[in-house]
Amino acid sequence: MARCGARTGSTTEWCRCCCPWSPCSTSRALPSRDLAAEELRPRPRTVSLVTSDDTTRHGPYAALFRLVLSRLEPEQAHRLTMRALAGAHALPGGPRLLRALFGTLDPMRDARPARRVLGAEHRSPLGLAAGFDKDGEAPLALLDLGFGHVEVGTVTAKAQPGNPRPRSFRLVEDRALINRMGFNNHGAQALARRLARARRTERGQRAVIGVNIGKSKITALEDAAEDYRFSARLLAPYASYLAINVSSPNTPGLRDLQSVEMLRPILEAVVQEADAARTRLRRQVPVLVKIAPDLHDDDVRAIAQLALEVGLAGVIAANTTIARPDSLTAGSERIARIGAGGLSGPMLAERSLQVLRLLRSTLPEDAVVISCGGVTTAQDVRERLAAGADLVQGYTAMIYEGPSWPGRLAREVGPLG
């Protein structure tokens, strides 16, 4: 196991190791378009996005969500959000404006204590999970909202359109999402070009940007290792770390790659490319694997042991779930009409915490575990850190809480030193 972000005896102390950044699904059971129209109709059971003691902070976004964003198809709303962020960040003074609007600090002048994990300094333990910025269009803008790191992707070796629409659904009553996007992305080469541009700036050189890579849909399972290798070779020079995604439920057969026999050659191929990049760049490119929450505990342990054997830096746990918990209030008929896809939201918190504790009890202290799934509040972040997470990631809460969410949680969690 590579010693990256090693723990020195507690969840709040960190050792210095590694080098800092240096420059150098399926389509079956698809619902009809009537479902998308149904989603746009107001629902009386919609929960408030505003807490009673924080109305000023959340009021404007809550109104925007209720009056505008919730009336758009989810993918369209997301696309508009990404364009707005990228456009604002590209304006003269845009980064400063974003930080002023959302109460975050200039990362170039931020003197808060930092934790060193995966060879990089993190002033917030909260990062943005893969899936929000699939093609690396606005990673620096997202960091300016207050995230400690941003994981772009999932990206595949070949550009692909993903699954047919509609493929993203809000469960507003549960503050949850169901998606079957299917790794829609512009491909590894396009992402490499975007990240190369971002890394040319001083801000970009210091930014913590992980890259999540997946298998191209047209690639046969037996050829998966070379498919991942291709993406890793292109993207390792620009990645703070690489995350191997074998756990999305929306690419046919992908989760079969979580078996130890099929996973080993994939992990070995990506580690080989990361090692080659380390020689060229004179810095480590840590590699992690992202697993599903639906795995049996014995399978989680087996993957953790495999990660040790092949020299991974750690594990990201966990991806979306194919389960539909009884606690969902959206209604069984509507859930059934939506059909296949990965569920994300607060209902994943319990299982994500279980997997985190299982990994922490299985892996050595110097192995990195990033906890993802069901993270909404500062208390969620504290709970994951106390359970042994090195970093924490969120995504779905960003949709419902708005762009002030990451900065607010960073302030509520407090200093990391």
Domain ranges of the chain: 58-105+123-325+332-413
Question: What tokens does 269 get?
Answer: 């191929």
Total Cβ atoms within 10 A of residue 296: 8
Specify the pLDDT at position 105: 67
Closest CA to 377 of 412, 404, 350: 412
d(CA 260, CA 264): 6
Specify the pLDDT at position 1: 54
Q: What is the DSSP string of 71-127?
A: GS-HHHHHHHHHHHHHHHHHSTTHHHHHHHHHT---TTT--S--EEETTEEESSSEE
Has domain 58-105+123-325+332-413 been given CATH number 3.30.70.580? no
Q: What is the torsional sign of CA 11, 360, 208, 406?
A: negative
Calculate the alpha carbon distances from 204 to 7, 108, 349 in Å.
Answer: 27, 10, 32
Query: Which residues does the annotation mark as catalytic?
Result: 248
Mean pLDDT in consecutive groups of 10 residues from the start of the chain, 417 residues: 43 33 35 39 36 45 72 88 90 88 68 84 94 96 94 97 95 95 97 97 94 97 96 98 91 84 96 94 94 94 96 97 92 92 96 98 97 97 97 96 91 76
Total Cβ atoms within 10 A of residue 361: 10
Q: Which helix (H) or strand (E) holds 357?
A: helix 349-362
**Which 3 state secondary structure label does DSSP give 265?**
helix
Find residue 275's DSSP bridge partners: none
